[in-house]
Chain A
Amino acid sequence: MKNLSLILALVGLAVGVSAAPEKAAKAAKAAKSGKLATVDSIRVAEARQNEFYERVEIPTPAGEVTEVSSIALLPGKKVAIGTRRGDIWVAEGAYDADLSKIKWTKYASNQHEPLGMFWKEGSMYAMQRPEFTRLTDKDGDGRADSFDTVSSQWGVSGDYHEYAFGSDPDKNGDVWMVLCLTGSFHAHAPWRGWAAKITPEGKFIPVASGIRSPGGIGHNDKGDFFYTDNQGVWNGSSSLKWLRAGSFQGNPTGNKSAALANFPAPPEPTSGSRTLAERLKFPEYVPPALILPHGKVGNSPSGVACDMSKGKFGPWESHMLIGEQTASQVQRANLEVVNGLYQGAVFHFLGGFEAGLIPVRMDQEDGTLFVGGSNRGWGSRGSKNFTFERVRFKGKVPFEMHNISARNDGFEVTFTHPVDAAAAADVANYTMDTFTYIYQSSYGSPEVDQTTPTIKSATVSADGLKVRLIVDGLVRGNVHHLALGDIKSKAGETLWHSEGWYTLNEIPAAK
């Protein structure tokens, strides 16, 4: 720790000697805000992962290229993967301690890039690029022989970027899907840039507009659906977005499809504005539930799962787990509803995966997290061309910020273990900065409207699990980045991760 400060001091000094004082100020500010420490702290955190979680690569069928794009759970502890090449394989033994005996059976060949797969009533369901399909093995030989097209009502132009991601069924049996734009910039076919649901009878019902380039879709414990959308046009940063029925998600490129179903025209927002300003103008514009600050939290979010394993995966019940392709990680987020909108905090969580992650699938029964991915076409921190892995909780709860919750005058931070009260009550151990992005038709955005609120007080609860922060200078609409200093648990454990990013769409009323 001392060495690190020395290096930072030297860098700060070195820049200071140069003829650019503002540069020095910027560097010092970056160092203080934890920007320089972030990359380093991720590496340190990944090194500690093994204390809490066991990450294991699952052997895939020998000699086969299995760029995992979907994961489905079958009865009898079988697990299926779908691949970008379109094969579907079923594994027996993927849960076993000895993975050398895993047995793979090919269920189907050369389907069209399934991105979202689940098993229901004896059939596999797969969201393929051109259609949503039910695949059934009627003769019981282990291979699908009946391929029913449940729906194929959306437009497909032939562009490689027109990905279609599908969810598990909701409580009505409807499957939710998100349709990427053409090349992620255009809408060259009907319903590109929309979310829709498909009923069990195959009815295709568009439910939300404004989508750009999704990386995955899933629901939380309340049954509300969320998808990840990647940084790009109208997306200053990547984010997790709530698919409220009838909502507009921010990107007007696909708006013209509304006329196909006689829907009212979705909003045409003003480029160069802010999300807050535009969503106050257009009530149907639902702001991102969770900004995943570009470069800080990740670069390209993918699969979405909710931990409903009742503690089997650690104390994260109802938290969202979000795959990250570029950084080969899984992030964790707590969500809450304030004034009718979802918002919450995202934290770094699991890392070190072997390729860019795409699907994230939680076995809620036994708390095993399955992830898979591929490096083809887009690089990642992982070094392998493709991977299929499982992660299990080892039983030791890491000392972490469990969640951050907004208050009228600040935040309440809940920890996983009681904190050492002296350090946790010291405001010097908390730094907060806020920022947002330009909401614009060009690609991405720098961080703008930066502020530095003051942490006025930190009060530790009687049980030591919560710290109430009174903050002067909350900014509605901004991401609030909270970095913790030298706070230890009562038992002396250091934090596994020390930062969280809270998207403050709404400031709650005083209770």
Chain B
Amino acid sequence: MVGYPLMRTPSLLALLASLVFVTAAEDGAQVYNTLCVACHGPDGKGLNGLPPLVGSDWPKGPAARSIKIVLNGMEGPVEVAGKSYNIVMPPQGAVLSDEKIAAALTYVRKAFAGGAGAVTPDEVKVVRAATAQRATPWTAEELLKDHPFPPAKTALKNLVGTMYKGEWKVMPDFSALKPALIEDFNVGVIDPDQSGLKDAFAMVWTGQFDAPVEGKYTFLFDCDDFGALYVGGERIAEVKGIGPVGGRAKEVPVILKKGLTPLRVEYVEFAGQEVVVLGYKGPKDKDYKWLSKSKGGKAGKPAKVRVFIPIQPKDGVAAIYRNFIDNISPRAIGIGFPNGLNIAYSADNLAAELFWNGKFMDGGHHWTDRGAGNEPPAGTNVIKLSSSQGVLLEGSAGDVVRFVREKDEKEWKFSAVKVAAEFKGYDLDKAGNPTFRSAGEGFALSDAWLPEEHSGKAALSRTLKVTGDKAVTILLARDLAVSGPSDGVAEIAGGLLVRAVSGPAPKANANDKSLTLTLKPGETAVLGYSFR
């Protein structure tokens, strides 16, 4: 079809030569623009809140890490370019040849990863063979274990961490304690995960701060739970008590000479989240530079770039939130009352399990991106009242079959169990106040909540009513220190008061540190809830 004379036309030859070149060089771009572009975007900056390649450490460094991600995909929590994600990247190993993966990664590394080296089909082949048994996507933790990012270079030099095991609510005298671990982590980054522990431990980091010039340095320090920062042998900041990062961050200016100044961080984790935030601004810096794995925002809050979408009562009508709420079973129903008190009811356990005050919920997490994970209440004084079945029968588990799961070492095991009752739904009155309904064989329970005021304080009135022919015990709190009831008022650890207003009164049980209420058929009890 194409005759010899055409080949002699120089301009056409040039055109053909350029087409050859373009065809070969665009192969990777073509793969990228067919498969990767829907999430990572044409410019590599990520679409619709999905992880970017530009500005990320992931596509840089050892090619094997990137090849593994493309071959088998990736899932679970991951930090990319300073932002947290928890999504699935689908594997492409079964769809793409070694050549195509190599071309796509070469393109990504060249176009979006600042000229990280090309990837060859042979490299892909080797990794593919080595990971042939892998059936599920990788997690960030697994990948970073085998292919870590290069140690971060910060202004912290010669950093050594010392870990102590124990439970403290105030700062211990570290000189009197026996360390459980002393390690030079070979990084200039402070990270509580270096302890390998979750709760009940303390860490002390010592090292030197390398000031590039003489002048004023402002340090930002915050932690969960508490700690202290020493610069030049002097304690310049302290965060006291048990609590989260955010509200207690300290910003302290100090004058430093050029060169090394001793720096020490003392940190105690009691329970819950473990976070240390340490940053500094030098004489010429506009923004904080971070010496800790957790980065702080202006007020020392973790620097997640996220919209706050307040969900709150409006025009005197309570707000509802049905989604995954932190520290309660997946079938959660949050109710935010107009008087600033909030509850989360578990439709799995038929119990009001969380109680807090202040802000109700933040939708900015579930309502942006893919909405992965649990959202903690947005307010304060969150009290976890119970985490087991909340409706119980005397002498019998009950007759309602539920399918449940339990983790046995690594595997999830499923079973069918019998419980007393199951969730039947709820009604909302005009002001959005809920009445939760549950029922079992031969009885039904209604559980109604209304905002009220008691002794000048915001309170919630709770009316529990049993119909049918069975006596029912309702779990109000468990595994919590309960004092009383005295004069009809029980105090639950955390400062929550439960008042018996009418009907049968709650009873404290020392053996399982619980507070329960037993109602006979037809009985109604009214309780009042408020903070001390």
Contact = CB atoms under 8 A, between A and B. Distances in A.
Contacts of A159: 372
A438 B88 contact: no
Contacts of A259: 414
Interface string A224-237: 00000000100000
A133 B136 CA distance: 34
Nearest to A130: B331
Contacts of B137: 185
Interface in B320-338: 320-324, 330-331
B369 A158 contact: no
Contacts of B423: 131, 149, 152
Nearest to A375: B48
Contact of A111 (B86, B322, B330, B405): B322
Contacts of B95: 294, 443-446
A256 interface: yes
A140 B410 CA distance: 51
For the complex of A and B, 10 pairs with smallest distance between CB atoms: A14-B19, A377-B370, A190-B403, A443-B91, A442-B94, A160-B372, A112-B322, A156-B330, A148-B425, A130-B331
Nearest to B311: A110
Nearest to B24: A18
Contacts of A184: 88
Interface stretch (B156-164, B426-434, B456-464, B489-497): B426-434
A111 B50 CA distance: 24
B38 A85 contact: no
A377 B369 contact: yes
Interface of A: 9-11, 13-15, 17-18, 65, 84-86, 109-113, 128, 130-131, 133-134, 139, 141, 144-149, 152-161, 183-191, 232, 256-257, 259-261, 294-295, 299, 326, 375-380, 385, 438, 440-446
Contacts of A189: 405, 412, 414
A155 B23 contact: no
Interface string B410-428: 0010111000001111111
Given A18-B24, A185-B75, A160 B86 contact: yes
Contacts of B49: 376-377
B303 interface: no
A109 B361 CA distance: 14
Given A149-B425, A377-B370, A157 B330 contact: yes
Interface in B28-62: 34, 37-39, 41, 47-50
Contacts of B412: 157, 187-189
Given A145-B427, A155-B405, A17 B20 contact: yes
13 contacts: A113-B323, A141-B430, A148-B424, A153-B402, A153-B403, A156-B331, A160-B372, A160-B373, A187-B412, A377-B48, A377-B50, A377-B87, A378-B38
B330 A130 contact: yes
Contact of B414 (A113, A144, A257): A257
Given A18-B23, A111-B322, 8 more contacts: A10-B16, A11-B19, A17-B17, A146-B427, A156-B331, A183-B75, A185-B75, A185-B88
B322 A444 contact: no
A155 B414 contact: yes
Contacts of A183: 75, 88
A378 B371 CA distance: 12
B1 interface: yes
Nearest to A259: B414
Contacts of B72: 443
A109 B336 CA distance: 13
B93 interface: yes
Interface string B289-319: 0000000000000000000000100000001
A112 B323 contact: yes
B2 interface: yes
Contacts of B75: 183, 185
Contacts of B2: 9, 13
A154 B348 CA distance: 11
B15 to A, nearest CB: 8
A446 B94 contact: yes
A113 B325 CA distance: 14
Contact of B374 (A111, A158, A232, A376): A158
Contacts of B93: 442-443
Nearest to A374: B48
A301 to B, nearest CB: 15
B73 interface: yes
B261 interface: no
A128 to B, nearest CB: 7
Residue picked from A110, A159, A260, most chain B C-beta under 10 Å: A110
B418 to A, nearest CB: 13
Q: Interface on chain A toward B: helix, strand, loop, or mixed SS?
A: loop
B363 interface: yes
Given A153-B403, A443-B94, A160 B371 contact: yes
B94 A109 contact: no
B380 interface: no
B367 interface: yes
B410 to A, nearest CB: 11
B193 to A, nearest CB: 23
A24 to B, nearest CB: 10
A145 B433 CA distance: 10
Nearest to A182: B412
B16 A152 contact: no
A145 B368 contact: no
B389 to A, nearest CB: 15
A184 B422 CA distance: 28
Q: Which one of B15, B39, B367 has the highest number of Cβ atoms from chain A below 10 Å of its Cβ?
A: B367
Interface string B151-183: 000000000000000000000000000000000
A440 B1 contact: no
B259 interface: no
Contacts of A17: 16-17, 20
A191 B88 contact: no
A397 B87 CA distance: 44
A139 B430 CA distance: 9
Nearest to A13: B2
Contact of A145 (B371, B373, B422, B429): B429
B442 interface: no
B347 interface: yes
Nearest to B75: A183
A152 B331 contact: yes
B378 to A, nearest CB: 14
A9 B425 CA distance: 66
A404 B407 CA distance: 50
B272 interface: no
Contacts of B47: 379
B38 A161 contact: no
B373 A147 contact: no
Determine which residue in B91, B330, B369, B373 has the highest number of CB atoms from chain A within 10 A of its CB, and name it: B330
Contacts of B321: 110
Contact of A14 (B16, B38, B319, B363): B16
B50 A438 contact: no
Contact of A379 (B16, B50, B96, B425): B50
A93 B37 CA distance: 38
Contacts of B369: 376-377
B404 interface: yes
Contacts of B148: none
A128 B425 contact: no
Contact of A158 (B38, B50, B330, B416): B330
B324 A158 contact: yes
Given A131-B331, A148-B425, A260-B415, A378 B403 contact: no
B20 to A, nearest CB: 5
A438 B426 CA distance: 48
B353 to A, nearest CB: 14
Contacts of B429: 145
Nearest to A188: B412
Contacts of A128: 322
B516 interface: no
Given A377-B371, A378-B38, A378-B39, A131 B1 contact: no
